[in-house]
């Protein structure tokens, strides 16, 4: 069956046709061969969405959301992609651009009456208030990128502790499979082992690390160095212990957990007396990684530590590095405007910075991006493996 879609109501905004047939790979290949023999060609990666963008069916941020939607692997990334596809980012940027254009028009109107030096169409105090308000929104969007990347790439969680404390057993328990080698021999794990799971619709990347201890083994030393590197990159750190850590150990761990969420896990409760720790001042979770005791409580604590905002279809969270770069540059331009107002710079200088801010925000939606090679680099990533 062949379905005809007339412009401008098709996905691309052009006249198009859709062929529905049996799903046999052989039949599909024969249909493609027949089409190519009669002058058709295979579409380039992302070409349909690129055509939709060029024909005004969607802006560039919405087009990029199509790729994110295809690649979404959990509920959270799906929601963010759908919000962007519906125009959440575009609508917010349109509001900011409209306010910036209002500022610029007032300043440029003054330039048209430059012969009247005392004439001001734009109250400088109101301009500064409006510029500060716009900058707050831009900064909030830019700051959301860290959360957006964590949701999109998976929140990194490092499992650390001494050798033979049960880190690999915990990783296997969380993953529900034997991903890491478990042995009573100290120093079995000599490199980081990484895998992901989904907790309440959010992806978490768990990193099992080499046990921290003094050693003369050169290979194990490299593994321990990578443990500290994993701690630096992690957003959440699970510190596994089977006995109360010393003050020296607490002090050392605190150096690596500043601005991170630390969860202390007391493992092997099936073997140890349930004595309270006297030095540890933060709440800890008692588990048995081997028997699965309190793993549900640990998973809940990990999710809460991620501090993921409750997502709705209208939430605006930046997940695209290109958008983040443009927002950062727009912030710089607005800051120059604010500083210029404080130092009473002329309207033509202020207007130039405002124009640059407008152009920078326009890059996100694509109204300032026209070269074909730039669009090609964006849309070629739509099809993985192509």
- Say how far apart CA 200 and CA 139 lie, in whole Å: 28
Q: In what order do the strands lie in the sheet with 236-241?
A: 193-199, 202-208, 155-161, 236-241, 261-266, 284-286
Residue 79: pLDDT over 50: yes
Cα torsion 147, 262, 226, 74: sign = negative
Query: Exposed, middle or buried by CB within 10 Å (0-12, 13-18, 19+), for 47?
Result: middle
Selecting from 3.40.30.10, 3.40.50.300, 3.40.47.10, 3.90.1150.170, what CATH number does the domain 74-366 have?
3.40.50.300
Where does the pLDDT of residue 20 fall: very low under 50, low under 70, confident under 90, or very high at 90 and above?
very high
Domain segments of the chain: what residues?
2-73, 74-366
pTM greater than 0.85 (yes/no):
no
Per-residue pLDDT band for 224 (boundaries 50, 70, 90) equals low
3-state helix, strand, coil in the chain (%, to 5): 50, 10, 35
- The model's confidence at residue 381, banded by pLDDT at 50, 70 and 90, is low
The second-level CATH assignment, the architecture, of 2-73 is 2-Layer Sandwich (3.30)
The pLDDT of residue 68 is above 80: yes
Identical topology for domains 2-73 and 74-366: no
Q: Report pLDDT for 74.
A: 83
Of the listed ranges 63-72, 148-157, 220-229, 235-244, the least confidently predicted one is 220-229
**Segment 249-277 mean pLDDT:** 80
Q: What is the pLDDT of residue 99?
A: 87
For the chain, percent of residues with pLDDT exceeding 90? 28
| Average pLDDT, rounded, for the chain | 82
pLDDT at position 189:
47
- pLDDT confidence of residue 274: 63
Query: Looking at residues 242-268, what average pLDDT do you find?
Result: 85
Q: What is the mean pLDDT of residues 100-120?
A: 69
Higher pLDDT, 103 or 131: 131
């Amino acid at each position: 069956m062949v379905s005809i879609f007339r412009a401008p109501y098709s996905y691309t905004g052009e006249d198009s046709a859709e062929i529905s047939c049996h799903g046999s790979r052989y039949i599909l290949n024969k249909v493609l061969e027949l089409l190519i023999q009669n002058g058709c060609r295979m579409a380039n990666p992302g070409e349909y969405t690129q055509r939709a963008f060029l024909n005004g069916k969607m802006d560039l941020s919405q087009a990029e959301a199509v790729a994110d939607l295809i690649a979404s692997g959990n509920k959270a990334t799906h929601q963010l992609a759908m919000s962007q596809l519906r125009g959440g980012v575009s609508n917010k940027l349109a509001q900011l651009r409209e306010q910036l254009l209002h500022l610029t028009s007032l300043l440029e109107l003054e330039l048209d009456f430059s012969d009247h030096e005392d004439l001001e169409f734009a109250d400088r105090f109101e301009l500064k208030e409006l510029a500060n308000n716009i900058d707050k929104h831009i900064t909030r969007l830019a700051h959301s990128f860290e959360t957006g990347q964590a949701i999109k790439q998976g929140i990194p969680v490092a499992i650390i502790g001494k050798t033979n404390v049960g880190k690999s057993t915990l990783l296997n328990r969380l993953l529900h499979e034997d991903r890491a080698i478990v042995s009573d021999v100290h120093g079995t794990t000599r490199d980081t082992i990484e895998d992901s799971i989904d907790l309440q619709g959010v992806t978490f990347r768990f990193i099992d690390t080499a046990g921290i201890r003094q050693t003369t083994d050169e290979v194990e030393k490299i593994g321990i160095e990578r443990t500290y590197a994993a701690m630096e990159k992690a957003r959440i750190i699970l510190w596994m212990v089977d006995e109360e850590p010393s003050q020296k150990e607490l002090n050392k761990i605190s150096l690596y957990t500043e601005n991170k969420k630390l969860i202390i896990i007391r493992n092997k409760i099936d073997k140890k007396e349930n004595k309270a720790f006297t030095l540890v001042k933060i709440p800890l979770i008692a588990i048995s990684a081997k028997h699965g005791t309190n793993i549900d409580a640990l998973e809940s604590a990990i999710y809460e530590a991620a501090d993921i905002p409750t997502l709705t279809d209208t939430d605006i969270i930046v997940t695209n590095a290109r958008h983040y770069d443009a927002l950062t540059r727009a912030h710089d331009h607005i800051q120059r405007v604010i500083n210029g107002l404080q130092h009473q710079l002329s309207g033509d200088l202020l207007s130039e910075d405002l124009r640059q801010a407008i152009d920078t925000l326009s890059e996100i939606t694509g109204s300032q991006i026209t070269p074909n090679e730039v669009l090609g680099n964006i849309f070629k990533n739509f099809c993985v493996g192509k």
